[in-house]
């Protein structure tokens, strides 16, 4: 590839092309010295780690990730906001956030000696080219977009583990890596913003100028010092669409989320009964909610990623509510054990379906709900009883 600029190239494009030419030339020389099957030695290129960073980025993209960005392992600047959020009790029953708060405030407690955090992102935006045919008289549920397929922890984790092993192999002697896919004690959205992956929007989620609101994140903490990418900054402006879109008013102010009112929390993390006052607003959402994400203007740049579609499950686009409520525990495990929906547990999932049937069901649902109203699971039975009352309120 030539470094000679064309008249149509911008300065940044010229710089990127020259950087890749320099890196490729150095890698070719390294490969020639070590042999074609040897891993490249990226630890001593003499350029401050730029070539190593770019080669790692290339490796991440080759594994199927859509983004790869770098930041330091310095403590996140807004760690105090987490402390205040926890003190307010807005985390609800997510008690692990309290137990890991100290680690989230400083990556050194997660990986002592860590100097760099490598972030990867996968777009879960998909264009629904074929909408499943559903009888207009059949009540269906809504599943959050990210959950309409195989569990991303598994297929992203497999790739991230491979990338972490590769980084360990090519890094300086003694390089250590620790990887997570949405499971580690890391303030990943703020740190991803610092890595330039996107910015934290007023709904408290990450917004990408290249992928919209639809990025799944993973990260590798490593002891290998690598140069960081430029940080991103907030670009919400005066927009408040996400605050206005929230069905339950969970976004109480810009950048402030009361999780106890959030439908994603209520239908996924909450293990007890859903507060009655919030049940009507849940509508037919049986696992998660995309409303605050979907209205963001930055979604005009959303595009499909490289690997999400192969893990999609079309039957989760508009699942039939009565069929879901009729499942037994074994059928639930068989159908959902490898999907995010398993996190709601059998009892919580049935609870959610009862609420949805009360909100959108018709007269054909009554017999099933009446049977479930005497279920041995008292929480599920109570939600079925509520659903029957809700149908009456709706004149059904």
pLDDT tens readout for residues 298-314: 999 999 999 998 999 99
Which residues does the chain have with pLDDT short of 50?
1-38
| Predicted local confidence at residue 373, as pLDDT | 98
User: What is the chain's percent helix, strand, coil content, to nearest 5?
Assistant: 45, 10, 40
DSSP symbol at 267: I
| Predicted local confidence at residue 223, as pLDDT | 98
Domain residues of the chain, as ranges?
A: 13-42, 47-314, 320-396
320-396 CATH fold: 1.25.10
Query: Which H/E stretch holds residue 51?
Result: helix 50-62
pLDDT tens readout for residues 74-115: 999 999 999 999 999 999 999 999 999 999 999 999 999 999
| Predicted local confidence at residue 6, as pLDDT | 39
| Predicted local confidence at residue 137, as pLDDT | 75
| Predicted local confidence at residue 8, as pLDDT | 41
| Active-site position among 41, 106, 182, 377 | 182
| Predicted local confidence at residue 58, as pLDDT | 98
Alpha-carbon distance of 215 to 236, in angstroms, equals 17
Active site residue 258: no
Whether the model pTM is above 0.95? no
| Predicted local confidence at residue 42, as pLDDT | 64
Sign of CA dihedral 189, 125, 60, 176: positive
Alpha-carbon distance of 25 to 17, in angstroms, equals 12
| Predicted local confidence at residue 20, as pLDDT | 44
């Amino acid at each position: 590839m030539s470094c000679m600029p064309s008249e149509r190239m911008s300065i940044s494009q010229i710089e990127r092309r020259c950087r890749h030419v320099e890196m490729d030339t150095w890698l070719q020389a390294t490969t020639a010295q070590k042999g074609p099957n040897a891993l490249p030695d990226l630890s001593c290129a003499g350029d401050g780690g730029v070539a190593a960073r770019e080669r790692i980025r290339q490796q991440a993209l080759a594994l199927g990730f859509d983004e790869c960005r770098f930041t330091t392992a310095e403590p996140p600047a807004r760690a105090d906001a987490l402390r205040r959020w926890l003190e307010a009790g807005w985390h609800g029953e997510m008690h692990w956030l309290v137990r890991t708060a100290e680690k989230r405030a400083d990556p050194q407690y997660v990986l002592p000696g860590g100097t760099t955090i490598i972030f990867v992102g996968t777009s879960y935006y998909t264009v629904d080219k074929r909408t499943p045919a559903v009888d207009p008289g059949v009540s269906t549920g809504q599943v959050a977009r990210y959950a309409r397929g195989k569990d991303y922890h598994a297929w992203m984790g497999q790739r991230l583990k491979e990338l972490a092993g590769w980084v360990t192999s090519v890094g300086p002697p003694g390089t250590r890596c620790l990887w997570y896919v949405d499971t580690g004690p890391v303030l990943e959205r703020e740190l991803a913003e610092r890595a330039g992956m996107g910015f934290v929007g007023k709904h408290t989620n990450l917004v990408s100028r290249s992928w919209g609101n639809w990025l799944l994140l993973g990260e590798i903490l490593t002891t290998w010092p690598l140069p960081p990418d430029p940080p991103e900054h907030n670009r919400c402006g005066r927009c408040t669409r996400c605050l206005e879109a929230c069905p339950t008013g969970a976004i109480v102010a810009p950048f402030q989320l009361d999780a106890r009112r959030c439908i994603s929390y209520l239908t996924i993390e909450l293990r007890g009964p859903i507060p009655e006052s919030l049940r009507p607003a849940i509508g037919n959402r049986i696992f998660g909610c995309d409303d605050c994400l979907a209205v963001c203007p930055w979604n005009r740049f959303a595009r499909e990623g490289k690997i999400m579609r192969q893990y999609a499950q079309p039957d989760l686009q508009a699942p039939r509510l009565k069929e879901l409520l009729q499942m037994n525990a074994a059928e639930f495990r068989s159908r959902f054990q490898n999907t995010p929906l398993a996190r709601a547990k059998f009892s919580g999932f049935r609870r959610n379906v009862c609420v949805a049937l009360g909100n959108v069901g018709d007269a054909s649902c009554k017999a099933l709900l009446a049977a479930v109203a005497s279920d041995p699971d008292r929480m599920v039975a109570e939600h079925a009883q509520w659903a029957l009352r809700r149908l009456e309120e709706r004149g059904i």
